[in-house]
A and B are shown apart, each in its own frame.
Chain A
Amino acid sequence: GAGVSQSPSNKVTEKGKDVELRCDPISGHTALYWYRQSLGQGLEFLIYFQGNSAPDKSGLPSDRFSAERTGGSVSTLTIQRTQQEDSAVYLCASSLIGAETQYFGPGTRLLVL
Chain B
Amino acid sequence: AQSVTQLDSQVPVFEEAPVELRCNYSSSVSVYLFWYVQYPNQGLQLLLKYLSGSTLVESINGFEAEFNKSQTSFHLRKPSVHISDTAEYFCAVSRTGFQKLVFGTGTRLLVSP
Contact = CB atoms under 8 A, between A and B. Distances in A.
A43 B90 contact: yes
Given A48-B100, A56-B100, A59-B100, A101 B49 contact: yes
A53 B29 CA distance: 24
Contacts of A31: 99
A43 B88 CA distance: 12
A76 interface: no
B106 A100 contact: no
Contacts of B106: 42-43
Interface residues of B, number: 21
Given A91-B43, A107-B43, A100 B51 contact: yes
A33 interface: yes
Interface in B45-66: 45-46, 49, 51
Most buried by A among B45, B90, B100: B100
B44 interface: yes
B94 A100 contact: yes
A4 B74 CA distance: 27
Interface in B86-113: 90, 92, 94, 99-106
Nearest to A97: B99
Contacts of B104: 42
Contact of B32 (A43, A44, A100, A107): A100
Contacts of A101: 46, 49
Nearest to A100: B32
Given A42-B105, A100-B94, A106 B43 contact: yes
Contacts of B103: 35, 42-44
A102 B99 contact: yes
Nearest to B44: A104
22 contacts: A33-B99, A33-B101, A35-B101, A42-B105, A42-B106, A43-B92, A45-B102, A48-B100, A50-B99, A91-B44, A95-B99, A100-B32, A100-B49, A100-B51, A100-B99, A101-B49, A102-B46, A104-B43, A104-B44, A104-B45, A105-B43, A106-B42
